[in-house]
Amino acid sequence: MISSHLPVLQVVVPLLAAPLCVLLKRPAVLWAFSLIVSILSAVMAYLLLQQTADGNIISYAMGGWAAPWGIEYRVDTLNAYVLLIVASISSLVLLGGRKSIEKEIETARLSHFYTAYLLCFAGLLGITITGDAFNVFVFLEISSIASYALISLGRDRRALTAAYQYLIMGTIGATFILIGIGMMYMVTGTLNMHDLAQRLPEVSNSRTLMTSFAFLFVGVSLKLALFPLHLWLPNAYTYAPSIVSAFLAGTATKVAVYVLMRFIFTVYGIEYAFTALPLSAILMLLAIAAIMLASMSAVYEDNIKRLFAYSSVAQLGYMVLGISFLSVAGLTSSLLHLFNHALMKAALFMALACVMYQQGNVLMGNIKGLGKRMPWTFGAIVIGGLSLVGVPLTVGFISKWYLILAAIEAGHMLLVAIVLVGSLIALVYVWKLVEQGYFQEGDEKITKQEAPMSLLLGTWFLVLANIYFGIDTSLTVGVAESTAQQLLGVSP
Number of residues forming the site for other proteins (CB under 8 A):
25
Name which of 219 and 250 has its Cβ closer to other proteins.
219
What is the closest distance, in whole angstroms, from the C-beta atom of residue 178 to other proteins in the complex?
6
Residue 157, interface with other proteins (CB under 8 A)? yes
- Candidate list 33, 46, 185, 401; residue touching other proteins; CB under 8 A: 185
**Smallest distance, Å, CB 432 to other proteins?**
23
| Three-state secondary structure readout of the chain | CHHHHHHHHHHHHHHHHHHHHHHCCCHHHHHHHHHHHHHHHHHHHHHHHHHHCCCCCEEEEHHHCCCCCCCEEEECHHHHHHHHHHHHHHHHHHHHHHHHHHHHCCHHHHHHHHHHHHHHHHHHHHHHHECEHHHHHHHHHHHHHHHHHHHHCCCCCHHHHHHHHHHHHHHHHHHHHHHHHHHHHHHHCCCEHHHHHHHHHHHCCCHHHHHHHHHHHHHHHHHHCCCCCCCHHHHHHHHCCHHHHHHHHHHHHHHHHHHHHHHHHHHHCHHHHHHHCCHHHHHHHHHHHHHHHHHHHHHCCCEHHHHHHHHHHHHHHHHHHHHHCCCHHHHHHHHHHHHHHHHHHHHHHHHHHHHHHHHCCCEHHHHCCHHHHCHHHHHHHHHHHHHHHCCCCCHHHHHHHHHHHHHHHCCCHHHHHHHHHHHHHHHHHHHHHHHHHHHCCCCCCCCCCCCCHHHHHHHHHHHHHHHHHHHCCHHHHHHHHHHHHHHHCCCC
**Site track 451-490 with other proteins (rule: CB under 8 A), x = hit:** ----------------------------------------
Nearest distance from C-beta of residue 138 to other proteins, angstroms = 6
Contact between 173 and 222 (Cβ < 8 Å): yes
Stretch that binds other proteins, among 170-178, 263-271, 415-423, 467-475 (CB under 8 A): 170-178
Residue 148 touching other proteins (CB under 8 A) = yes
- 167 lines the binding site for other proteins (CB under 8 A): yes
210 binds other proteins (CB under 8 A): no
| Residue 33 contacts other proteins per CB under 8 A | no
Q: Is 186 in the site for other proteins (CB under 8 A)?
A: yes
171 sits near other proteins (criterion: CB under 8 A): yes
- Single out the segment in contact with other proteins by CB under 8 A; choices: 3-11, 137-145, 294-302, 325-333: 137-145
**CB nearer other proteins, residue 189 or residue 478:** 189
* 427 is a site residue for other proteins (CB under 8 A): no
- Residue 43 or 179: the one with the smaller Cβ distance to other proteins is 179
* Residue 211 within binding range of other proteins, rule CB under 8 A: no
Q: Single out the residue of 145, 252, 286, 355 in contact with other proteins (rule: CB under 8 A).
A: 145
Residue range at the interface with other proteins (CB under 8 A); choices 182-190, 354-362, 431-439, 484-492: 182-190
Does 149 sit near other proteins (CB under 8 A)?
Answer: yes
Of these, 182, 375, 442, 452, which contacts other proteins (CB under 8 A)? Answer: 182
CB of 219 to other proteins, least distance (A): 11
- The span from the CA of 323 to the CA of 317, in Å, is 10
Applying CB under 8 A, the span of 98-106, 171-179, 258-266, 382-390 interacting with other proteins comes to: 171-179
Q: How far is the CB of 257 from other proteins (least distance, A)?
A: 23
Distance of CA 268 to the CA centre of its chain: 23
Residue 279 interacting with other proteins (CB under 8 A): no
The residues of the shown chain that bind other proteins, judged by CB under 8 A, are: 134, 137-138, 141, 145, 148-149, 152, 157-158, 160-161, 163-164, 167-168, 171-172, 174-175, 178-179, 182, 185-186
